[in-house]
Amino acid sequence: MKEVIEALNPHKNQNFVDCTIGGGGHAEAILSLTGPNGKVLGLDWDKQAITRTRERLAKYASRLVLVNESYIEIKQAVYDKKFNKIDGILFDLGLSSDQLQDSGRGFSFQVNEPLDMRYDAESNPLTAEHIVNTYPLDKLTNIFRENAEEESARKIATAICETRKQDRLKTTLELVGLIVRTLPRKKSRIHPATKVFQALRMEVNNELANIRMVLKDITQLLEPGARVAVIAFHSIEDRIIKEFFRHEATQCHCPKEIPVCRCEHRSQYKIITKKPIVPSEEEIIQNFRCRSAKLRVAEKI
């Protein structure tokens, strides 16, 4: 939290967009520093998150604008709400504690829930149950490998395909049991189902494609000097963010052997974090789920 707020550097009467408002923790901190007229536009695809945040931050109701949409709709939300002069945008790409603990949608491998994993069931027909019970072996393997870098992707996908011949996989603990039986036991602080659940959630909600899309969209929304802060929780997301910032911070992309620039690309950002900011040992002890978080920040020029 502290590092995020320092990175965004909110001041009196500034406006910010929290693209993944979740429980509202970051938004609350920003609102406390941007009074009396600074506003936060908060987006979340999860209707439950919007409801909880509206209740939690009721005292900031006049300065908080909430929109129940995915962050890929940020341009439309900014236009619809006439949310002008944006001084910073935040993305926190991790799951919230509420989503993991009691969502009823199968995000956690520690609670027995339906294999759903949708942030918004009304707008998204695809579920994790449909994926594990209908996708062919090669497609399942690619999902586990490309979305989560699961080393045993083929082995797990094969076990899923064999199991579903007998009975449909319907719940989280059924899938967890299958994974645990399939993989050899290792001494690890990370549960063997972690990457499979991550990969399925990302496939259901089209997360990697959405990240790539929205990073391109936000550039035109920012004022010079405005900052973009992105918290990623695994290497694939972090790589996308790192490569985007590096690409957009480069003045010219022509090959070195071409003496005069022909691509006409001009840098859009200055990179603030040369290396990602990661949690301290103390923070990890207090909140083990933050262990893999990486914060990258860039400033519009």
Segment 67-97, tens digit of pLDDT: 999 999 999 999 999 998 999 999 999 887 7
Domain spanning 2-98+207-300, CATH architecture: 3-Layer(aba) Sandwich (3.40)
Which pair of tokens denotes residue 270? 């200055």
Q: 62 vs 4, 9, 34, 66, 103, CA distance in Å?
A: 24, 22, 13, 11, 28
Spatial separation of the C-alpha atoms in residues 279 and 113, rounded to whole Å: 30
- Who wins on pLDDT, 281 or 254? 254
* Tokens 């290396």 sit on residue: 275
Strand partners, 67: 43
Q: What is the CATH number of domain 125-204?
A: 1.10.150.170
* Mean of pLDDT values over 36-48: 96
Which pair of tokens denotes residue 130? 């449909």
The domain locations on the chain are: 2-98+207-300, 125-204
Secondary structure of residue 14 in the 3-state scheme: coil
Average pLDDT, the chain: 94
Lowest mean pLDDT among 113-122, 192-201, 233-242, 252-261: 252-261
What percent of the chain shows pLDDT beyond 90? Answer: 83
Strand partners, 88: 16, 227
CA-CA-CA-CA torsion sign (296, 271, 209, 75) = positive
The pTM of the full predicted model, rounded to 2 decimals, is 0.91
Lowest mean pLDDT among 199-213, 221-235, 284-298: 284-298
pLDDT at 196 over 90: yes
Lowest mean pLDDT among 20-29, 142-151, 240-249, 281-290: 281-290
Nearest to 241 by CA among 201, 279, 276: 276
pLDDT at 275 over 70: yes
pLDDT in tens, 199-227: 999 999 999 999 999 999 999 999 899 99
pLDDT of residue 33: 98
- Who wins on pLDDT, 19 or 287? 19
What are φ and ψ of residue 117, in 5° steps? 70, 15
Spatial separation of the C-alpha atoms in residues 154 and 145, rounded to whole Å: 8
pLDDT of residue 102: 65
Which pair of tokens denotes residue 284? 């990890």
* Mean of pLDDT values over 233-250: 96
Summary count for the chain: helices (H), strands (E): 13, 7
* Mean of pLDDT values over 47-69: 96
